Amino acid sequence: MGLLGIHGSISGSLSNAIVEADKLGCEALQIFTANQRMWAVKDPSGEDITEFASAWKKSSIKKIVSHNSYLVNLASFKPELLEKSRAAFMAEMRRVAVLKLDALILHPGSFTGGDYEGGVRNITDSINGAFAQVKDFPSMLLLETTAGSGSSIGGKFEDMALMIKKIKHREKVGVCFDTAHVFEAGYDTKNDYKKVFEEFDRVVGLERIGCFHINDSKTEFASKADRHWHIGQGHIGGEFFKKLVNDRRFKNIPMILETPKEGGMDMENLKLLHKMAR
């Protein structure tokens, strides 16, 4: 079984997310290391870092990953936005390093105002530059699959393979496989579980998967529209998730819920996933 987890809130303190996930019996956790909707963010203090480490140690959480800020677009053709994005991304890498997180997940980016090849080049130049600046980054960098709408890069497995090929430190790079995004992008995981993962293996390599976002999809197959929904209640359906949580190839991989939390639904979704596990 994968390491089931949630996206925890850092409101109040970073370690609150650990407490929230631990209470729900999670083995994995995703956090934002800072406010994801602001450019100017505070880095954790020495005290924050110690408190976080001790809360983690006391918990049953095995792996913690970070989700990069939503504002960052490393593919951007607007010089000012690209520069701001690169600086924010490197600051995120440094926070992930000091908190000793297992991975940093980022959306590759959108090539608005430019072209696909240029967008990919902007992303990989940004990542190569960041690895040169943030020496000895101890964690994995995971490029997240996207629903493939408009100019967003990452809706095809080939996008992931191309970016990884162009990154120098590719031993530090993997993929975060978002089950809603992949289905919305046009891979029929509902009807062709085996075939989709065979294709991923052929194009990217299954060993690159460092995390799953386990979301059902509120929108239809190949909709290119990203709407996360509760496990088993969306267009993907429960059967897929049953296969996934029991897939031995992904035994120690974090599987993070990013479904709506209202009404105590994290607990309900986790219960259902545990029930599915053999």
* Triad 181, 185, 187: Cα angle to 5°: 100
Rounded to 5 degrees, φ, ψ at 30 are -120, 140
Is 48 near Zn ion (CB under 5 A)? no
User: Is there a contact between 234 and 224 (Cβ–Cβ < 8 Å)?
Assistant: no
Residue nearest to Zn ion (CB): 226
Is 92 near Zn ion (CB under 5 A)? no
Residue 213 bears catalytic tag: yes
Q: Select 102 or 226, whichever has its Cβ closest to Zn ion.
A: 226
User: Is there a contact between 27 and 49 (Cβ–Cβ < 8 Å)?
Assistant: no
Options 7, 95, 107, 208, the catalytic residue:
107
Q: Select 48 or 178, whichever has its Cβ closest to Zn ion.
A: 178
Give kind and range of the element (H or E) at residue 217. Answer: strand 216-217
Question: By rule CB under 5 A, what string of x and - marks binding of each residue 140-179 to Zn ion?
Answer: ----x-----------------------------------
Q: Select 224 or 246, whichever has its Cβ closest to Zn ion.
A: 224
Residue 187 bears catalytic tag: no
Is 216 near Zn ion (CB under 5 A)? no
Cα–chain center distance at 66: 8
Give kind and range of the element (H or E) at residue 265. Answer: helix 265-276
Options 27, 102, 144, 266, the catalytic residue:
144
Rounded to 5 degrees, φ, ψ at 175 are -130, 140
Residue type at position 92: E
Residue 247, burial from CB neighbour count under 10 angstroms (0-12, 13-18, 19+): middle
Residue 169 bears catalytic tag: no
Is 226 near Zn ion (CB under 5 A)? yes
Q: Select 144 or 216, whichever has its Cβ closest to Zn ion.
A: 144
Residue 228 bears catalytic tag: yes
Give me the active site residues, please: 37, 67, 70, 107, 144, 178, 181, 213, 226, 228, 258
Residues at the contact surface with Zn ion, assessed by CB under 5 A: 144, 226
